[in-house]
Amino acid sequence: MRFDLNILGCSGAVPAYGRFPTMQLLNVQERLYMIDCGEGAQIRFSDFNVKWGKLSHIFISHHHGDHVLGLPGLLSSMGLNHRTAPLLVFGPPKVGQFLEQACAFTKHLSFPVHFHEVDPALHKVVFENKALEVYTLPLRHSVPATGYLFREKERPRSMRGEQIERYNIPYTAIPDIKAGADFLSPDHGNVPNEVLTLPPPRSRSFAFCSDTAYEESLLSYIYGVDLLYHESTFLQKHHGQALETGHSTVQEAAMMARNADVRTLVLGHYSTRYPVLDRVLQEAIPIFPNTILGSDGLIVPLMLNP
């Protein structure tokens, strides 16, 4: 029951110091959901031994090059690897235009690519399957940009094995009990559901917020998530540049984590001004102690019952 974030690239606009542009993978029960697709995505897939076949959905925040330029190469190489399964790409309208050009240029793809346009001004569910719901998060950047919130669906309660025997429960009754029903026993009368089942593990959640300035309205959408990735392009001494470019400082990212009462914060999208990142962590920790410095290759596993 994995729910792991894998950061493939943590650089800001210009890659440097071994840091690739923004791209992340969320592994939910061995299916991969990609978030942003910076240049060199297929190279990072190779570097970190990512299984291409497990990827079927890509969520793009906005159309800036450092978040989309890995798409053409990734698609093309999936084609050369004889992929046939469809690929679904989510993003604001201009991402669709970019994707269309990329697909037109990379002719004869061996698999279908579908684009699902999202409205970056709204907070709404844009995807769901048995395991997961994905919501958009309206960000505030120099161009329309959306974050994404990944939330596990609540699982059914699980049967307590010893009670099946004790109350002589037929297997045909189990699905209803798992769904919350009591059991009417010939010998014991009504047995309440809480006696027969265990509560499901907590649903895990991950919010991706990049690129964005500090945006107060995000707080209610991401309140209490297990893991928050929030961009932190600039140190405090460059907060003027953050304002100008629609990015956040490290302190703002940490404030967002604190104010939204999240469990863990992961930083990233570092400016090329900072070859070494110790100062980044030093500015975050006093505001939000449970902060992780994002790095290329980092894996953050979220436990079922932490």
Active site members: 66
3-state secondary structure of 20: coil
CA atoms within 13 A of residue 104's CA, in its CB half-sphere: 6
Q: Interface with a copy of itself includes 76 (CB under 8 A)? A: yes
Q: Pick the piece of the chain touching a copy of itself (CB under 8 A) from 14-22, 83-91, 115-123, 125-133.
A: 14-22
- Least separation, in Å, of the C-beta of 39 and a copy of itself? 4
- Least separation, in Å, of the C-beta of 26 and a copy of itself? 23
Q: Interface with a copy of itself includes 73 (CB under 8 A)? A: yes
* Beta carbon nearer to a copy of itself, 101 or 129: 101
**Of residues 59, 98, 183, 206, which one binds a copy of itself by CB under 8 A?**
98
**C-alpha closest to that of 125 among 156, 151, 144:** 151
* Beta carbon nearer to a copy of itself, 142 or 236: 142
Count of residues that interact with a copy of itself, criterion CB under 8 A: 29
Q: Interface with a copy of itself includes 234 (CB under 8 A)? A: no
- Least separation, in Å, of the C-beta of 134 and a copy of itself? 26
- Least separation, in Å, of the C-beta of 218 and a copy of itself? 26
Gap between the Cα atoms of 113 and 145, Å rounded: 21
Gap between the Cα atoms of 71 and 35, Å rounded: 11
Q: How many residues does the chain have?
A: 306
Cα torsion angle, 43, 76, 2, 136, sign? positive
* Beta carbon nearer to a copy of itself, 193 or 245: 245
3-state secondary structure of 83: coil
Q: How many CB atoms lie within 10 A of CB 20?
A: 23
* Beta carbon nearer to a copy of itself, 46 or 236: 46
Q: Interface with a copy of itself includes 294 (CB under 8 A)? A: no
Phi-psi region of 70 (alpha: psi -120 to 50; beta: other; left: phi over 0): alpha
Q: Interface with a copy of itself includes 20 (CB under 8 A)? A: yes
**Of residues 29, 51, 105, 121, which one binds a copy of itself by CB under 8 A?**
105
Gap between the Cα atoms of 224 and 123, Å rounded: 16
Binding to a copy of itself in span 36-55, by CB under 8 A: 39-40, 42-43, 46-47
3-state secondary structure of 280: helix
Q: Interface with a copy of itself includes 17 (CB under 8 A)? A: yes
In this structure, what are the phi and psi dihedrals at residue 257, rounded to the nearest 5 degrees?
A: -65, -45
Instruction: List strand residue ranges (DSSP E) for the chain, in order.
Output: 3-9, 23-28, 31-37, 55-59, 87-91, 113-117, 125-128, 132-138, 146-152, 158-159, 183-185, 189-191, 197-198, 205-209, 227-231, 264-268, 291-293, 299-301
Q: Interface with a copy of itself includes 35 (CB under 8 A)? A: no
- Least separation, in Å, of the C-beta of 280 and a copy of itself? 19
Contact positions vs a copy of itself (CB under 8 A): 13-18, 20-21, 39-40, 42-43, 46-47, 63, 65-66, 69-70, 72-73, 76-77, 80-81, 98, 101, 105-106
